[in-house]
Amino acid sequence: MPEKHDIKPGQSIELLKELHILTRDGKLNQDSRRKLKQINHLYQFIEPLLKEVHSNQAAITLVDHGAGKSYLGFILCDLFFKHQDDNSHIFGIETRDELVEKSCLLARKLDFHHISFLNLSVADSIYADALPASVDIVTALHACNTATDDAIHFALEKKARFIVLVPCCQAEVAAVLRKNKAASSPEQSLSEIWRHPLHTREFGSMITNVLRCLQLEAHGYQVNVTELVGWEHSMKNELIIASYKNLPRRRPSERLNELLNTLGLTEMSQRFFTP
């Protein structure tokens, strides 16, 4: 059996087996222990947000973008949503038919009424009739490249109270930096930061998340950035949590536009749109 500290009290052993985190005989190998630690650690950040929403209203709506095999959605359902005697619901959004089908079958098998799955891209989900006009919490765990930006767009359109992001594979900004190197700064010295391909990739990844944070702040959110787990577990380790506080918008909006201009990224203004 896995060590007691790996499994949360009341956590479904059957679910962990179905997600292949536990073997059929209940064992936990090193790879699956890492996955369980990451998901449970993320739950520790999300649980207080769920409780805050629930303290003000009866039902919670959470949308999980780029759901994949729906590790996060099922863990959230198992540890929190299945205990709610109301219309609280998780929507898992995923483009791969086979994963959506498997997740639907598993939800039925485990009698999880509070979770369902839609075969949609993140971008298409913004205007999909199958989703409510407003949602409480939006999550996007390793939604690749611009899918994270689409998740932000979705959250803004749906007036989400909380947004939880673990960004992944930020290639678009790096490509624009590479293309516009020579024109990025009047002195041209700033482009030395991303002159080498490895630095272009790393700087592009970092600046993408900086721009995302400024965008969220420009829409009135308070933003916190931290590590999800130690670097030994994942290089895609940045956790962004945004809470809507109706904060002043002018300064972050100005900073965002200044940064786009300075780095030669003005063509991306529509990607990082502000009010």
Report if residue 221 sits inside a domain.
yes
Residue 77 lies in a domain: yes
C-alpha 238 chain-centroid distance: 10
Q: Contact, 265 vs 176, CB < 8 A?
A: yes
d(CA 39, CA 103): 17
The answer to whether position 230 is within a domain reads yes
In a domain, 24, yes or no: no
Report the CATH number at residue 220.
3.40.50.150
Q: What is the pTM of this model?
A: 0.92
Residue 29 lies in a domain: no
Overall number of domains in the chain = 1
CA angle 191, 192, 195 (to 5 degrees): 90
| 197 Cβ neighbours under 8 A, 6+ residues apart | 178
> Does 262 fall in a domain?
yes
In angstroms, the Cα distances linking 160 to 53, 137, 153, 246, 261 are 11, 6, 10, 12, 29
Per-residue pLDDT of the chain (275 residues; tens, 9 = 90+): 445 557 888 889 999 999 988 888 878 877 777 888 888 888 999 999 999 999 999 899 999 999 999 999 999 999 999 999 999 999 999 999 999 999 999 999 999 999 999 999 999 999 999 999 999 999 998 877 788 999 999 999 999 999 999 987 778 888 888 887 655 554 567 778 888 888 888 898 899 999 999 999 999 999 999 988 654 444 567 899 999 999 999 999 999 999 999 888 999 999 999 99
Structure tokens at 196: 């080498």
Please check whether residue 43 lies inside any domain of the structure: yes
Give the range of the structural domain holding residue 78, as residue numbers without chain letter: 37-268
Please indicate, yes or no, if residue 69 is contained in any of the structural domains: yes
